[in-house]
Amino acid sequence: MKKLVFLFLIVLMVIPAGISLAQDKTEVRVWIAFSDYRLDWTKERAAEFNELYPDYEVIIEGFESYNIAFTETALAAEQGNPPAVTHFFEAATQEALDAVGPNGEPLFKSVAEAIGDRTEINGVPVVLDDVVSAAADYYTANGEFYSMPWNTSSTIMFSNMNILEAAGVEAIPETWGELEAACEKIMALEDGPDNCMTWPNHSWWLEQTLAQQGADLSNNGNGREGRSTEVFMNSPEAIAYAQWWKDMNDKGYYIYTGVVRDWGGTQNAFESQQVAFLQFSSSDATLIPANVQDVFPAVVSRMPYNEAAGYHGNIIGGATLWLNNGLNEETETGALMFLNWFSNPKNAAEWHQLTGYIPITNTAYNNLVEAGWFEEVPGAAVANMQLDLIPTTGALIGNFVAIRDTFTDAMEEILINGMDVEAALNEANEKANELLEEYNLLYAPE
């Protein structure tokens, strides 16, 4: 018995020694705002990286949303223990740029600046210069490429080809007018669906349609030439879009699922053949056609645009990996190694094939073309192609998460309570500008 106790004590003493041995590795904590199979994939990659570069220990932690990952980062920084990398979404880019830590220094550091003119870091080739231009342009602010793009998507449309064929719709609609005409035919079907199309009530659609119509969402060139100080949520282009949306809803062509930012409900509506068209994120460009392949052929195409305004390009959505400021040199090196390795051609291609997010580097894209992937899965190429048509960048606006919500709220007032489009958008615009003014009071340099 005594021996056992002795042994136990020895084990107790050895464990901390083992832990301290493990600590000789440089820890690189990476906070990811996913909690599903995408987090699992990231963890697998981290394990692979740790095996390849045994001096570093990348530790992945999942969070349920971008906002929570960001809040936790800010709090951790306040306690002096921030992670090395935080995953944050495109709409909050301005907020990430403006965020400061407890010492008043910026919370994040430009990845391009941290890499400098290195082409490889400890044997890991730098891929930042290879990032596709749509993503690189979006995340470049004040002439500086700030964060490492990762999951990047655009809006696309899925069509149920069985229904289109039955209704005699020959070509997949590319404009609002063509879509309306197709819906007229589909609604005339005797055993057709109750409604023709759906998409989530998400402000991303407003931002996409403004880009398509060539209108800015905020002043100073969408906040690209200087800080946004005014939002144009009631611009003629915004009104045109909301009005068209309302008309489609009133005719019964569009069906609203009743919940804001409803990805699940709209996807279910399409997959259960309750609608013929679904506008969605390209993040599921491979997943949705695969889900329904035994029931009906689903074809991916570009997001329809307003033919009256011409076509001026679409924007990206998604998120990037931000490098925290004030890391020690070893941790920063490890973080940069991981960021570049994580989006190397092989990983970037695999990530695209798994999810439908665009291949984030040109090399990854070319390799996929050569391997014949896009012939095998034609829908997978749509988002890349759409983003390459006409390069545009989305708006950089402070307090954008709250400002976006004013649009979705207005859209609900229009669709559910039948509020007048112009009145609803004027009200939303007023609230949005108040929110922006408050933001700039707190963040803009004095």
Partner 1 sequence: MTFYSNMLPVFIVTVVAGALYIASIFQRFKRPVIYGVGIGAVAGLVGPMIFMAPLDSCTFETGREPIDYWFGIVLFVLGAALLLGAARWVARFWLSGRAIASLVEDQTTMGVYKASPLIPVLLLLPTIIILTFFLYYPLIDTFRLSTLLVKLGAPRTVFRCVTNFTDFFEPGGFDYTALALVLGLVIAFLAYQPLKEAGGSELRAVFIYVSAIVIAFMLLNRIIEPDYREVLFNTFFIASAIVILGLIFGLAIAYLAYQPVRGAFIYRTLLIWPYAISPAIAGIIFFVMFDPVSGVINHIIELLGGEGLDWIRDPWMARAAIIITSVWKTLGYNILFYIAGLQTVPGDLLEAAEIDGANAWQRFRNIIVPALSPITFFLIVTNLTYAFFNIFGTIDFLTKGGPAGATSVSIYEIVELGIRHKDLGRAAAQSIVLFLMVIGVTVFQFRTSGRRVTYGA
Task: Count CA atoms closer than 13 A to 343's CA, side-chain side.
Answer: 27
Closest distance to partner 1 from the beta carbon of 359 (Å): 31
Closest distance to partner 1 from the beta carbon of 129 (Å): 30
Contact between 262 and partner 1 per CB under 8 A: yes
Give the one residue of 62, 192, 214, 265 binding partner 1; rule: CB under 8 A: 265
Contact between 216 and partner 1 per CB under 8 A: no
Rank residues 256 and 373 by Cβ distance to partner 1 and give the closer one: 256
Closest distance to partner 1 from the beta carbon of 83 (Å): 15
Contact between 295 and partner 1 per CB under 8 A: no
Give the one residue of 100, 239, 290, 369 binding partner 1; rule: CB under 8 A: 100
| Three-class DSSP labels, the chain | CHHHHHHHHHHHHHHHHHHHHHCCCEEEEEEECCCCHHHHHHHHHHHHHHHHCCCEEEEEEECCCHHHHHHHHHHHHHCCCCCCEEEEEHHHHHHHHHCECCCCCECEECHHHHHCCCCEECCEECCHHHECHHHHHHCEECCEECCEEEEEECEEEEEEHHHHHHHCCCCCCCEHHHHHHHHHHHHHCCCCCCCCEECCECHHHHHHHHHHHCCCCEHHHHHCCCCCCCECCCCHHHHHHHHHHHHHHHCCCECCCCCECCHHHHHHHHHCCCCCEEEEEHHHCCHHHHHHCCCCCEEEEECCECCCCCCCCCCCEEEEEEEECCCCHHHHHHHHHHHHHHCCHHHHHHHHHHHCCCCCEHHHHHHHHHCCHHHHCHHHHHHHHHHHHCCCCCCCCCCHHHHHHHHHHHHHHHHHHCCCHHHHHHHHHHHHHHHHHHHHHHHCCC
Rank residues 42 and 249 by Cβ distance to partner 1 and give the closer one: 249
Binding mask 48-87 for partner 1 (x = CB under 8 A): -------------------xx-xx--xx------------
Contact between 350 and partner 1 per CB under 8 A: no
* Cα diameter, the chain: 88
Closest distance to partner 1 from the beta carbon of 266 (Å): 8
Contact between 122 and partner 1 per CB under 8 A: no
Contact between 440 and partner 1 per CB under 8 A: no
- Residues in region 266-285 near partner 1 by CB under 8 A: 268-269, 271-272, 274-275
- Candidates 45-53, 262-270, 289-297, 368-376; binding stretch for partner 1 (CB under 8 A): 262-270
- Candidates 26-34, 142-150, 385-393, 431-439; binding stretch for partner 1 (CB under 8 A): 431-439
Rank residues 130 and 271 by Cβ distance to partner 1 and give the closer one: 271
Cα 342 off chain centre by: 17
Contact between 90 and partner 1 per CB under 8 A: no
Contact between 237 and partner 1 per CB under 8 A: no
Give the one residue of 256, 341, 357, 407 binding partner 1; rule: CB under 8 A: 256
The whole-angstrom separation of Cα 315 and Cα 304 is: 13
CB contact at 8 A, 370 and 169: no
- Residues in region 411-430 near partner 1 by CB under 8 A: 412-413, 415-417
The whole-angstrom separation of Cα 89 and Cα 69 is: 10
Closest distance to partner 1 from the beta carbon of 341 (Å): 29
Give the one residue of 172, 179, 255, 319 binding partner 1; rule: CB under 8 A: 255
Contact between 22 and partner 1 per CB under 8 A: no
Contacts of residue 38, Cβ cutoff 8 Å, sequence gap at least 6 = 32, 151, 355
**Tokens read off for 330:** 């070893």
Closest distance to partner 1 from the beta carbon of 428 (Å): 13
Give the one residue of 260, 299, 369, 377 binding partner 1; rule: CB under 8 A: 260
Contact between 162 and partner 1 per CB under 8 A: no
Contact between 443 and partner 1 per CB under 8 A: yes
Contact between 401 and partner 1 per CB under 8 A: yes
Rank residues 53 and 158 by Cβ distance to partner 1 and give the closer one: 158
| Contact positions vs partner 1 (CB under 8 A) | 67-68, 70-71, 74-75, 95, 98-100, 104, 107, 195, 198, 255-262, 264-265, 268-269, 271-272, 274-275, 399, 401-402, 405, 409, 412-413, 415-417, 435, 438-439, 441-443
